[in-house]
Structure 1
Amino acid sequence: MIVIPAIDIKGGRCVRLIQGAMDSETVFSEDPVAMAQQWESQGAERLHLVDLDGAVSGATVHYDLIERIIKAVKIPVQVGGGIRSLNRIEHYLSAGAAAVILGTAALQNEPLVKEATRKFPRRIIAGIDSKKGRVAVRGWTEVHPEEAATLAVRMEEAGVAALILTDIEKDGMLAGPNIGLFREIGMQVEIPIIASGGVTTLPQIQQLAEIPGVEGAIVGKALYTGALSLPKALAALRGEEA
């Protein structure tokens, strides 16, 4: 079980949103590169980067900034947000990204997912964002009738290495994750699940770790507000004291 700090980029800055609303941003850093280095220095084993502007527009906006972040740290970085072509996937992987996250493309362009997983095995992750059990796309601005669990099974069949599951209504609320969602989908797929949305406390992370298939938790606002200490969480998961 690993804890993965999230760095969401909007307007070139590191921000957190509430339930994905683009007008609800709180800026936590003007320098996302320095923020990435800070999480690495605190023991992070992996980083989760999202181009929020790209997710909404459908085209990568902050490629140069994300490339600088990737090169500024030594730990693996997974990248998402507006990645909807094989060319862009190749660009990020060539820049040093450990994995690329496909969200809207996972729902709307399954042939791309299959082609990407064939060309880059173990490096394509499906990002599934759930709102009341349905899939949300385009930076969470549109809700599709397909169920998140159904898409999860399809993505496993398409060959993705892992799933990032986010409960939008929990995201940024500091109110705890949707344990039921992760249990439900964990019973239907065999690939690793990374849980996201509302993860706030160490007991919640430990509860997630007990769910079969859940191998990681993405944490954002709780780290930025100080509600959760990354070094203490990592030490506790190792059975140590920080």
Structure 2
Amino acid sequence: MTFTVYPAVDISGGRCVRLLQGLFGSETVYSEDPAEVAASFCRAGAAWLHIVDLDGARTGEPQNRDLLLEVVRAAECPVQASGGVRSAADVEQLLAAGAARVVLGTVAIEDPGAIAELCRVHGERMAVSLDARGGLLQSHGWTVGTGTSVLEVVAEVSGLGAWGFVYTNVERDGTMAGPDLEGLQAVLDATALPVIASGGISSLEEVRAVAKVGAAGAIVGRALYEGTFTIREAIEAGSAA
């Protein structure tokens, strides 16, 4: 499987931002035009984008849905969309707008039956996010601790027909402190499905490390926005691992 680098386009208050450890109020604003950011990443060579409605993830209601749909339409490469996706109607709206894949988070914890049905209908256009703090899942935009272990959900979901998982160590996200390779490896060992790593990547060496342990891809945010490396350099690093 080709290693894929997913530039992150996180939307809050209509702007493109990055949070520190998922904490609302800690955001750094990188652009007032998320659609242009998305298009620019595609022009720079990205094969996929990872787009999140952060406000929707926190509240459970679409807060930036019109803008998110605009971003999906503006992107010139496939988009993986997430944030505030709680129902079949939410999924269908995003897919109809052109999202190639939808990532489900809170609903995977709160309503496993809904995940099973969505996977039955949409199959590999569904993925499940594993947002972890101390090995336990966080929900509602990382604001609520669930007490549910990451590996418990991996076991429940792996046979339902989803494409795979997005594993994020919330404590690393936005910190440039390096990826959680131990947690990532545990997820990889527990499933045969593809796993995308997210959170903390700050160097090309870390991109290579994530690829080397077997991740299908990596979501990269702050390191790209701050010019630590380019999308093409990240793709080359992951492919060479």
TM bracket, shorter-chain basis: over 0.9
CA contact (8 A) 2:127 2:163 kept: yes
Distance 1:230 1:74 in 2: 15
SS at match of 2:154: helix
Distance 1:210 1:44 in 2: 20
- Alignment correspondent of 2:173: 171
- Alignment correspondent of 1:83: 85
Deviation per CA, 1:127-173, whole angstroms, max 9, x where unpaired?
11000000000011111111111111212123221100000000011
CA contact (8 A) 1:110 1:158 kept: no
CA contact (8 A) 1:83 1:89 kept: yes
- Alignment correspondent of 1:97: 99
Counterpart amino acid of 1:69?
A: V
| Residue number among 195, 204, 226 corresponding to 2:197 in the alignment | 195
Distance 1:124 1:149 in 2: 18
Cα distance change on mapping 1:59 and 1:205 into 2, 3 Å: same
CA contact (8 A) 2:39 2:76 kept: no
- Alignment correspondent of 1:219: 220
SS at match of 2:147: strand
CA contact (8 A) 1:129 1:136 kept: yes
The two structures have a TM-score, normalised by structure 2, of: 0.96
Distance 1:204 1:11 in 2: 31
CA contact (8 A) 2:16 2:34 kept: yes
| Residue number among 124, 127, 132 corresponding to 1:125 in the alignment | 127
Give the C-alpha shift of residue 199 in structure 1. 1.0
Deviation per CA, 1:14-39, whole angstroms, max 9, x where unpaired?
00000000010000000001100111
Q: Name the stretch that deviates more: 67-76 or 124-133.
A: 67-76
- Alignment correspondent of 1:232: 233
Distance 2:71 2:211 in 1: 28
SS at match of 1:158: coil
Counterpart amino acid of 2:233?
A: K
Q: How many residues align?
A: 238
- Alignment correspondent of 1:142: 144
Counterpart amino acid of 2:185?
A: R
CA contact (8 A) 2:116 2:160 kept: yes
Q: Name the stretch that deviates more: 227-236 or 175-184.
A: 227-236
Counterpart amino acid of 1:16?
A: R
| Residue number among 41, 44, 47 corresponding to 2:46 in the alignment | 44
CA contact (8 A) 2:78 2:100 kept: yes
Give the C-alpha shift of residue 12 in structure 1. 0.3
CA contact (8 A) 2:135 2:149 kept: yes
Listed as ranges, the gaps of 5+ residues in structure 2 are none
Give the C-alpha shift of residue 238 in structure 1. 4.6
Distance 1:159 1:218 in 2: 22
Distance 2:84 2:237 in 1: 35
Distance 1:235 1:103 in 2: 30
Alignment RMSD, CA only? 1.1
Listed as ranges, the gaps of 5+ residues in structure 1 are none
Distance 1:149 1:237 in 2: 25
* Runs of 4+ with deviation above 6 angstroms: none
Distance 2:238 2:105 in 1: 29
The two structures have a TM-score, normalised by structure 1, of: 0.96
Distance 2:24 2:239 in 1: 36
